[in-house]
Amino acid sequence: MAVQNNLRRPSERPPEAPEREPAVDVRGLRMRYGTHDVLNGVDLRVEQGEVLVLLGPNGAGKTTTVEILEGFRGRSSGEVSVLGVDPDRGNEAWRARLGVVLQSWRDHAKWRVRELLAHFAAHYAPYGTPERPRPRDVDELLETVGLTEQADAKVGSLSGGQRRRMDVAVGIVGRPELLFLDEPTAGFDPVARRDFHALVQRLAGEEGTTILLTTHDLDEAEKLADRILILSGGTIVAGGSPAALAAQLESDAEVRWTHRGERQVTFTPDGTGFARKLFERHGEEIEDLQVRRPGLEEVYLEMVRLHESGRAEEAAGSIPLRRQQ
Amino acid sequence: MSADTRTAQTLRLGAERGWREFRGLLASGNELFSAVVMSLAFVLVVFFQRNETLEDTGISTATAALPGIVAMMLVYNGLVGTATYLTTEREDGTLLRAKALPGGIASYLWGKTVFMLLNTLLSVVLVLVAGLLLFDGVADGLADGGPQMLGMMVLGLAACLPIGAILGTCFDNPRTAIGSLMIPFMGLTVISGVLMPVSWMPDWVQTLVQFTPLYWLGLGMRAAMLPDTMLALEIGGSWRVPETLGVLALWAVAGFALALVLLRRMTRTVNGATLDESRLKAMQRV
C-alpha cells in the first residue's frame, strides 16, 4: 500500500484526560446462541484516541464482540456504550461517527472505484463538523490507500490486495471518530501488511482516531496496540500494554529441580533469585535445574492450541494470571 | 439535520445508485442480452400466431396477447427480479455495506426501486417496439391507450415491487430464490389470462386468479390497448376499471406495509457472520 502523508487534520490528538468518557465501554457483555455461550461476560473499555487490539484465537468471540459494538447484531445481556450511545439504539448521526472496515467479497463489482467511494462519501456529507469535516476528499483518500491508478477501474477487476485497500478506504471515508477493523490483514502479503500497519499508525497518531482492531496474530497486536486484551472462551483473560502484558504473563517463572533424587517444581516471580537461594542452601545436592519463563507468545500459542483442540474453557483457564490493568 | 434534507439526500443518492446500476446493466453484455432474450421470447412465441384471428373479434392473436406480455414483464421484473436482486445482494455483502453507512439502507432500497423501474421500463419498451414492428393494430392501441397504459405500469410496479421485496427476505440465497419462484410464476402466467383468455379457464381457476396482481394488471393493460370488441373474452364482459385500480392499490399498500416490517427485520440480521456463512455455501456450490 503506497501510503501517502495526507491524513493530517487541523485539530491535534486531545491531551490525556483520564476522566473523559471512553469511546467504548462494555460491562458484562453476554451472547448466547441456543445453549451455547459465545461471550461470557466481557468487560472492556477503549479510551478516546487509543488503539486497542482484541487478540484471540479463531472462535474466541472477537467478531461477535465487534459486531455488537458496531450495532450489527443484538446481545443477550450486558451494558454497552459506543461513543456514548447504546448500539441497539444508535441513529444515523451516531452511525456517521463510526467507521467499519468490512471484508468485501464481490459486492458492487460493476462500480468504478472512485465512483463507489464518492457515492459512499456523499452519505456522510450532512454529518460533517468544523473540527471533523466529512467526508474526506475522495482523490486524496485514493492516494492515501494507493489506489489512484485504479480510480477508474471496475471494483470487480481489482486484485485481492487492492480490494482490501478499497475496503479500508470505504471504512475511513467518513473520517470516523472510532474505527473498527475485524481481522483486517487476513490474506495480506507481507508488504501489504506492513503498509497497512503504517496506515493504522498514521490514523491513530495524526488524526486521533480511536481504533478497535481484532486479530489472532500476536505480532500484529504487539506492533499496533496501545493496549491488548486477550479474549478466550468468551471472556477477557488478560490485558495491558504489550510490555505490561508480557511482563505480567512472564511474572511466574517455572523452576524445576531434583533434590536428593526427588523432583520438585515451584512457580515464582523471581526464578533466578530462587535458584540462587536453592544453591546457597543445598549446594551440590541440587541437580537438573531448569528455570522457564513462559513468554507472552508461549502463553498465547498454548491458548490457541487448546482452543483448536476444542477445549476453549481450559484455554481461558490456561492463562496464568487474570489480573487486568 | 432536518428530516426533509435527509429525505432529499436519500432520494438523490438512491437515484444515483439506481442509475449507475442500470448503466452497468446496459454496459454488461451478458445481462443486457438476457434482458432482451427474456423480453422477446414471448413476442416470438406469439409471432407465429400473428395471422390467426382470436375467435370472432377481428384482432390477431399476437396483438391480443401483447398487453398480457407487457403485464407479465412487469410482474416478472417487479417480483422475481426484485426478490433475486435482494437475496443476491444480501449474500454478496452489498446490504451489509449499506448498513455500515449513515442512511445507507434507505438509499439502497430507494436505489433498488429506481433500478427496478428503469429495468422494467427497458423490458416493456423492448416488447412494445417489437410489437409495433411485427404486429398490426399495436400502433392504434398505443395511440389510444398510451397514457392509461403508463398509469397501469406505475400502479403495477407499485403493487409488485413490495411483494418482490417480501419474497426477497424469505430466501437465503439467490439460487433457491430463482428456483422456487420461476415455476409458480410460469404456472401463474398460464392461468392468469395473460397468454390466453381467462374465460377459457375453468370457473375455479377464474376465481383463483382474481386474487393475483398479474390477472388485474393484465386486464388493465388490455383495457388500455385493446378495442372493446375483445370484451367478450373477459370475465363479466367488462374491463372492470375501478376494480382493477382498487385491487392493485390494495396490493401496493398492503405489500408496502409488510415489506417495511420484513425488510427492517432482515437488515437487522445482516452481519459479517451470516455473510461468511453464505459465502462459504456459495463457494461450495460453485
Q: Are A231 and A56 in contact (CB under 8 A)?
A: yes
Say if B121 falls within a structural domain: yes
pLDDT of residue B145 exceeding 70: yes
- Identify the CA nearest to B223 among candidates B141, B157, B153: B141
Give, for all 325 residues of chain A, the pLDDT tens digit. 444 444 444 444 455 555 678 999 999 999 998 888 899 999 999 999 999 999 988 888 898 999 999 999 889 999 999 999 999 999 999 999 999 998 777 899 999 999 999 999 999 999 999 988 999 999 999 998 889 999 999 999 998 888 888 999 999 999 999 999 998 887 778 888 888 899 899 889 888 899 999 998 888 998 999 999 999 888 888 888 888 877 766 667 788 899 888 888 888 888 888 889 888 988 888 888 888 777 677 777 777 777 667 666 666 665 554 343 3
Q: In the sheet that A77-82 helps form, which strands lie side by side, from edge to edge?
A: A36-46, A24-33, A77-82
Task: Report the CATH fold assignment for A24-241.
Answer: Rossmann fold (3.40.50)
Candidates A117, A119, A199; CA nearest to A166 is: A117
Residue B38, pLDDT score? 84
Q: How many domains does one find in chain B?
A: 1
Grid cell, residue B209, equals 386468479
Distance from CA of B32 to the nearest CA of A (A): 14
pLDDT of residue A10: 43
The alpha-carbon radius of gyration of chain A (Å, integer) is 23
Distance to chain A for B136, nearest Cα, Å:
40
pLDDT category, B34, cuts 50, 70, 90?
confident
* Residue ranges covered by each domain of chain A: 24-241, 245-318
C-alpha to C-alpha distance for A189 and A47, rounded to whole angstroms = 31
Contact B27 A64 (CB under 8 A): no
CB < 8 Å to A182, chain B: 272
Residue B29 included in any domain:
no
Cβ–Cβ below 8 Å for B104 and A123 = yes
Please count the residue pairs, one from chain A and one from chain B, whose beta carbons lie less than 8 angstroms apart: 85
Buried b (16+ CB within 10 A) or exposed e, B1-14: eeeeebeebbeebb
Please check whether residue B247 lies inside any domain of the structure.
yes
Chain A interface test: which of B4, B12, B271, B286 (most A C-beta within 10 Å):
B271
State the pLDDT at residue A91.
92
Could you tell me if residue B52 is inside a domain?
no
Quick check: is B55 in a domain? no
CA distance B171 to A215: 32
Contact status of A295 with chain B (Cβ, < 8 Å)? no
DSSP string, chain B: --HHHHHHHHHHHHHHHHHHHHHHHHH-HHHHHHHHHHHHHHHHHHHTTTTSB-TTSSSBHHHHHHHHHHHHHHHIIIIIIHHHHHHHHHHTTHHHHHHHSTTHHHHHHHHHHHHHHHHHHHHHHHHHHHHHHHSTTHHHHHHHHHHHHHHHHHHHHHHHHHHHHHHHHH-SSHHHHHHHHHHHHHHHHHHTTSSS-GGGS-HHHHHHHTTSHHHHHHHHHHHHHS-GGGGGGSGGGS--HHHHHHHHHHHHHHHHHHHHHHHHHHHHT--HHHHHHHHHHHHHH-
B276 vs A229, higher pLDDT: A229
A103 touches B at CB < 8 Å: yes
**B96 domain residue, yes or no:** yes
Out of B92, B107, B271, name the one closest to residue A73 (CB): B271
Residue B144 domain boundaries: 60-275
Q: Give me the pLDDT at residue B189, please.
A: 87
Residue carrying the nine cell digits 400473428:
B50
Q: Which three cell numbers stand for residue B150?
A: 403508463
Reported ipTM: the value is 0.86
Mutate to test the interface with B, among A110, A113, A163, A173 (most CBs of B within 10 A): A110
Mean pLDDT of all residues in B233-239 = 87
Residue A323 pLDDT: 40
Q: How confident is the model at residue B43 (pLDDT cuts 50, 70, 90)?
A: confident
* Residue bearing the bigger pLDDT, B268 or A320: B268
Q: Which of B28, B272, B279 is facing A110, going by the closest CB pair? A: B28
By percentage, how much of chain B surpasses pLDDT 70?
97
B263, B109 Cβ separation under 8 angstroms = yes
CA–CA min distance A70, chain B (Å): 8
Residue that is written with C-alpha cell 536453592 in the block = A278
Find residue A80's DSSP bridge partners: A26
The phi-psi region of residue B226 (left if phi > 0; otherwise alpha if psi is between -120 and 50; otherwise beta) is beta
Quick one: closest CA in A to B95, which residue?
A: A107
- Cis preceding-peptide flag for A135 (omega within 30 of 0): yes
Interface of B with A (CB under 8 A): 1, 5-6, 9, 13, 16-17, 20-21, 24, 27-28, 89, 92-94, 96-97, 99-104, 107, 268-273, 275, 279
Chain A residues 157-186 with CB within 8 Å of chain B: 170, 174, 182
- In chain B, what is the straight-line distance between the N-terminal and C-terminal CA atoms, in Å? 46
- pLDDT(B193) > 50: yes
pLDDT at A9: 43
| Polymer length in residues for chain B | 286
